[in-house]
């Protein structure tokens, strides 16, 4: 039996090389990233006896150094196999143990095909007990060789947001009900797809990614908070294009891709994630503006917006991205260089997170389960 799960995705005809395959797994979730030299056109199908899913990457070749089989054995995936199926096609096969859902999407810069597999353990209906700690993942954007945006006085976004993230963790950890994890604690580079996988593996209740904004217009200023969804807003697409490291043209094309929009639609439907992300974004944005106004009367409230940020793709929990000020604006760069301002930002984010948790009743909290949409 062959089940065609989705139509092919059209991309440029330049031949792609499959460079490497990585995976991150937990008891009910596995993410696989196939590193590519170029975006690819692909099809995906499923076969039974034994259960396996395969991806045919068109107009592609495989690097000789890639192992023929990558053992996983995490209860969801037995192994991953990759080979040159024909002269023009690389086939990547996933030997399945037991899954309830699959999602995949392509990202660029660098090009990767990302596949998320979900185990059936999430369908047991078991919920976190009332005494369970609130698990929060804080993501400091960029890092390592990726400085992010750079201010007029050479202040790096990667340094500012790491400083804020560390402050946020310290503040949140004062509450014994919180368990807090950072995607990075030092100046290291973490790929975007690995950040979300980290939050999923931690079974986080919230995921907050912290960034500093930038614009060619040095007078642009303000604070805004994003959640994941498609948009035709020009400025929101510019912000997402910069964070995704792709051109604005490609960002607009991403909003029109059927496969991507289907992934986003099913992702947002899970556990009312969109509604909870909207709520979280509004609490954080409101807190940032009201608290920062006390020390900066000229702060501009840019509101809550939505865009397709790679770092939010596939997050299984309410997730937002906060742009805490414009590092490209000389005045806001000066503020971001001050410890007192970064402390105010951190306090504001924590206040927003706390307000969100207060809005979630114990009944709602217990009712949260990792439901996975079956095939």
The predicted model scores a pTM of: 0.86
Q: Which pLDDT score, from 0 to 100, does residue 363 have?
A: 41
List residues bridging with 53 in a β-sheet: 46, 94
> What ranges do the domains of the chain cover?
3-121, 134-366
Q: Positive or negative, the Cα torsion across 264, 267, 273, 275? A: positive
Q: Up-side HSE of residue 233: CA atoms within 13 Å toward CB? A: 14
Instruction: Note whether 254 and 260 are within 8 A (CB).
Output: yes
Residue 209: strand, helix, or coil: strand
Look at the domain 134-366 and name its fold: Aminopeptidase (3.40.630)
Nearest to 210 by CA among 113, 355, 23, 352: 352
What CA–CA distance (Å, rounded) separates 227 from 282?
A: 10
Kind plus residue range of the DSSP H or E element containing 170: helix 157-172
Q: Which pLDDT score, from 0 to 100, does residue 239 have?
A: 97
Q: Which pLDDT score, from 0 to 100, does residue 272 have?
A: 67
The residue ranges of the chain whose pLDDT is under 70 are 1-13, 121-131, 258-259, 266-272, 294-297, 361-375
Kind plus residue range of the DSSP H or E element containing 225: strand 223-228
Q: Which pLDDT score, from 0 to 100, does residue 298 have?
A: 76
> Alpha helix (H) ranges present in 178-294?
192-201, 234-244, 248-254, 258-269, 273-292
Whether the bond between 50 and the residue before it is cis, its omega within 30 degrees of 0, is: yes
Q: What does CATH list as the number for 3-121?
A: 2.60.40.3500
What CA–CA distance (Å, rounded) separates 314 from 324?
A: 23
Q: Which pLDDT score, from 0 to 100, does residue 54 have?
A: 97
Q: Which pLDDT score, from 0 to 100, does residue 375 have?
A: 26
Residue 19: strand, helix, or coil: strand
């Amino acid at each position: 039996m062959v089940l065609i799960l989705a139509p092919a995705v059209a991309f440029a005809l330049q031949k792609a090389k499959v460079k490497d395959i990585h995976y991150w797994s937990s008891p009910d979730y596995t993410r696989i990233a196939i590193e590519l030299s170029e975006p690819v056109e692909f099809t995906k199908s499923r076969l039974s006896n034994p259960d396996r899913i395969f991806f045919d990457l068109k107009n592609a070749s495989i690097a000789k150094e890639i192992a023929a089989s990558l053992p996983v054995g995490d209860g969801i995936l037995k192994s991953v196999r990759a080979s040159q199926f024909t002269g023009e096609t690389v086939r990547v096969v996933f030997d399945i143990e037991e899954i309830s859902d699959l999602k995949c999407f392509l990202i660029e810069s660098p090009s990767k095909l990302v596949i998320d597999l979900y185990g059936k353990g999430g369908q047991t209906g078991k919920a976190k007990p009332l005494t369970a700690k609130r698990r929060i993942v804080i993501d400091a954007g960029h890092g390592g060789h990726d400085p992010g945006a750079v201010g007029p006085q050479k202040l790096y976004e990667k340094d500012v947001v790491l400083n804020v993230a560390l402050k946020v963790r310290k503040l949140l950890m004062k509450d014994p009900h919180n368990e807090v994890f950072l995607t990075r604690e030092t100046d290291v580079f973490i790929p975007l797809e690995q950040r979300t996988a980290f939050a999923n593996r931690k079974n986080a209740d919230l995921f907050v990614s912290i960034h500093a904004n930038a614009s060619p217009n040095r007078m642009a200023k303000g604070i805004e908070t994003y959640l994941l969804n498609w948009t035709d807003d020009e400025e929101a697409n510019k912000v997402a294009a910069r964070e995704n490291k792709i051109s604005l043209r490609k960002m607009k094309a991403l909003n029109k891709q059927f496969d991507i929009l289907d992934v986003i639609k099913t992702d947002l439907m899970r556990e009312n994630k969109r509604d909870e992300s909207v709520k979280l974004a509004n609490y954080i944005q409101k807190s940032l503006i009201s608290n920062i106004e006390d020390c900066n009367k000229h702060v501009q409230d840019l509101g809550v917006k939505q865009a397709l940020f790679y770092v939010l793709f596939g997050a299984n929990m309410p997730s937002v991205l906060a742009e805490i000020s414009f590092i490209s604006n000389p005045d806001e760069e000066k503020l971001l260089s001050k410890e007192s301002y970064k402390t105010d930002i951190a306090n504001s984010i924590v206040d927003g997170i706390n307000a969100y948790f207060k809005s979630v009743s114990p009944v709602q909290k217990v009712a949260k389960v990792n439901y996975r949409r079956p095939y």
